[in-house]
Amino acid sequence: MAPALKFYLGAVPPFRLDLTVWALRRRAENHLDRWDGNCYRRLLVTAGRPRLVRVIQARGPEQPALEVEVQGPDLSDREALAIRAVLSRVLGLELDLSPFYRLAASDLALGPLANRFRGLKPPRFPTVFEALVNAITCQQVSLDFGIRLINRLAEAFGPPLEAAGETFRAFPGPEDLLGHHEAELRALGFSRQKARAVLELAGAVAGGFDLEGLADADNGTAAARLCRLRGVGRWTAEYVLLRGLGRLEVFPGDDAGARNSLRRWLGLGQTLDYARTKALVGRWDPYGGLVYFHLLLGRLERRGLVAGGYNPVGAA
């Protein structure tokens, strides 16, 4: 399928596509957010139709430019604008992190970490619904297993598109899950409670529960509304505040992996609880969530998936 549209997007510098995409995808096994070392690919649904989006960093971190191709016939101007908006949200293109870098420059711990992953932008899921389903799915299981479940959910219910000899799947929206049963999700590996929570969430959103409208609420109000949904507790709500609503001050304090990374990074011997974690992260307010993403990249770097350090071209 030939590209239907090609355009360029800018970003507030510094920006590195590779670091940002890895903070979004979290694991190499992620089939939705694909990265081959140079190109980010994702199937997005606009106006009810799946579109394959390809993004390459054409200029380096300090003067960033992204080359975007959108594949699919009969692409309307409205769809093109919607894709631009989604990419800006997902990749944090318009965020100015200058205050964060100034804060890091005066902090002996944070400074080296911020410099190592300079150009990371805090990513967000395309929708709050996707963020919440990811959070519910990954509760109390390893991230590796949670990502496998998300892949299976997309393969079973996500809108498909054939392109370049491959089948791509978009993340299923609420309408894609309506009418399905718990047994179908359980067959994918979901627990009974998680299957029920995901399907009830899809029904609630289809019935008028405005997840995107939480953007207008403060953190406490948004978290309280989320916690009224089945399967949503403190960790899930904070995860959605950060990864779905872009609240950079939120460090999910119940995240065991993040807490352990924080403890090791600061050279602390004792195990951290929620209260101690929040107290420690408070020194970097309002950028606790950005510290969370930097610590995630540190873990990915130790796995050999991410290359830290300044990258003059930004795409390799």
pLDDT tens-digit series, residues 189-207: 999 999 999 999 999 999 9
**Model pLDDT, residue 309:** 84
Do 3-96 and 97-117+246-309 show the same overall fold? no
* 122 close to 92: Cβ distance less than 8 angstroms: yes
Confidence at 165, pLDDT banded by 50, 70, 90: confident
Q: Report pLDDT for 73.
A: 76
> Homologous superfamily of 3-96 in CATH?
DNA-3-methyladenine glycosylase AlkA, N-terminal domain (3.30.310.20)
- Cβ 254 vs Cβ 235: under 8 Å: yes
Domain 97-117+246-309, CATH: 1.10.1670.40
pTM: 0.95
Domain spans, the chain:
3-96, 97-117+246-309, 125-237
Mean pLDDT in residue range 77-106:
96
pLDDT, tens digit, 9 for 90 and up, residues 273-307: 999 999 999 999 999 999 999 999 999 999 999 99
Dihedral Cα 244, 226, 248, 146, nearest 10 deg: -50
Please tell me the predicted confidence (pLDDT) of residue 285.
97
Q: What percent of the chain has pLDDT over 90?
A: 91
The CATH number that domain 125-237 falls under is 1.10.340.30
pLDDT at residue 160 is higher than 90: yes
pLDDT at 20 over 60: yes
pLDDT band at 310 (very low <50, low <70, confident <90, very high): low
Best CA proximity match to 276, nearest among 291, 295, 257, 263: 263
pLDDT of 82 strictly over 60: yes
Amino acid identity, position 101 = Y
